[in-house]
């Protein structure tokens, strides 16, 4: 176990963003195949942002011929912007164009968040109800995703859980809508109780501009770690894989094995 591994966390450092993407794709495929063979389905929540584009494109390029049992997948989204599905800012639209349009997934098993709903809190609560209905619950009674894919911003935000925002301390709602002062916009997002109940969380972070935040979330000091939203990812009974390229890991002292 390296200095930056904790019992629930495994940090993997690759030389380049491309290699980090390949590692993420391999891990994702292993997790999906295992979930489908053990439980007959895989419930996954995908991330927005630019980092996962290459990962989605890689999976899309393998398409139907790859190892992923797409027909047994149920696809959710960890966060969404306050826009409709056709808007260029929509996470759903990005994932649809880079991945979902190219693989044999059942359209009825893809669950976009309603980012253009007039009442976003009602949309968040509907989404939570759908998750509670469709996912098996774990020992703590919370629905358990087989896999939640996440990215991280340079300020340490993950999903739409931004530093200083009210959603960070949400202990009851599993999905919420909140105003993010730094964006001047509302977002829909999973909250930590739902994130941390997952079986597997894959946090993919690349690039020099994330190095400081990466150092912050990997520190052994729990109090400082929790200052950054992504530092609060700590699965209660699952595994967090942090996949980095060398640029993002630069300040941690961790290198490619």
Residue 84 lies near ligand 6PG (rule: CB under 6 A): no
Residue 165 lies near ligand 6PG (rule: CB under 6 A): no
CB of 190 closer than 8 Å to CB of 174: yes
How far is Cα 237 from Cα 194, in angstroms, rounded to an integer? 12
Count Cα neighbours of 110 within 13 Å in the Cβ-side half-sphere: 18
Q: Which stretch binds ligand 6PG (CB under 6 A): 44-52, 165-173, 219-227, 248-256?
A: 44-52
Q: At what angle do helices 91-98 and 53-62 cross, to 10 degrees?
A: 40
Find the shortest distance in angstroms from Cβ 79 to ligand 6PG: 5
The candidate with the shortest Cα–Cα distance to 196, out of 145, 135, 151, is 145
The candidate with the shortest Cα–Cα distance to 235, out of 164, 157, 145, is 145
Q: Which stretch binds ligand 6PG (CB under 6 A): 19-27, 48-56, 128-136, 218-226?
A: 48-56
Residue 158 lies near ligand 6PG (rule: CB under 6 A): yes
Find the shortest distance in angstroms from Cβ 189 to ligand 6PG: 8
Q: Which of 47, 197, 233, 249 binds ligand 6PG (CB under 6 A)?
A: 47
CB of 191 closer than 8 Å to CB of 158: no
Residue 48 lies near ligand 6PG (rule: CB under 6 A): yes
Nearer to ligand 6PG, 27 or 204 (CB): 204
Nearer to ligand 6PG, 61 or 182 (CB): 182
Residue 49 lies near ligand 6PG (rule: CB under 6 A): yes
The candidate with the shortest Cα–Cα distance to 175, out of 167, 183, 184, is 167
Q: Which of 26, 30, 50, 87 binds ligand 6PG (CB under 6 A)?
A: 50
CB of 140 closer than 8 Å to CB of 197: yes
How far is Cα 247 from Cα 54, in angstroms, rounded to an integer? 17
Structure tokens belonging to residue 51: 């980092």
Residue 231 lies near ligand 6PG (rule: CB under 6 A): no
How far is Cα 40 from Cα 243, in angstroms, rounded to an integer? 27
Nearer to ligand 6PG, 152 or 240 (CB): 152
Residues in 113-152 that interact with ligand 6PG by CB under 6 A: 151-152
Residue 37 lies near ligand 6PG (rule: CB under 6 A): no
Contacting residues toward ligand 6PG, per CB under 6 A: 47-51, 79, 91, 151-153, 157-159
């Amino acid at each position: 176990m390296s200095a930056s591994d904790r019992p629930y966390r495994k940090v993997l450092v690759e030389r380049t963003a491309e290699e980090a993407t390949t590692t993420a794709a391999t891990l994702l495929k292993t997790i999906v195949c295992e979930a489908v063979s053990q439980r007959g389905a895989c419930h996954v929540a995908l991330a927005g942002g630019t980092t996962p584009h290459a990962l989605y494109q890689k999976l899309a390029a393998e398409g139907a011929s790859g190892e992923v049992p797409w027909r047994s997948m149920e696809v959710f989204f960890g966060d969404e912007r306050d826009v409709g599905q056709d808007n260029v800012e929509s996470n759903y639209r990005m994932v649809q164009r880079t991945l979902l349009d190219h693989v044999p997934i059942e359209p009825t098993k893809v669950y976009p968040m309603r980012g253009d709903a007039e009442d976003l809190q009602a949309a968040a609560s509907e989404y939570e109800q759908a998750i509670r209905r469709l996912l098996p619950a774990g020992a703590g009674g919370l629905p358990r995703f087989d896999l939640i894919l996440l990215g991280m911003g340079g300020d340490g935000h993950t999903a739409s859980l931004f530093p200083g925002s009210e959603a960070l301390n949400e202990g009851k709602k599993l999905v919420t809508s909140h105003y993010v002062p730094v964006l001047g916009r509302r977002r829909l997002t999973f909250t930590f109780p739902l994130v941390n109940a997952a079986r597997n969380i894959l946090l993919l972070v690349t690039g020099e501009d994330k190095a400081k935040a990466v150092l912050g979330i990997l520190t052994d000091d729990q109090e400082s770690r929790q200052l950054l939203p992504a530092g609060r990812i700590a699965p209660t009974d699952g595994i967090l894989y942090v996949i980095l390229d060398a640029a993002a890991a630069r300040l941690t002292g961790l290198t490619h094995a």
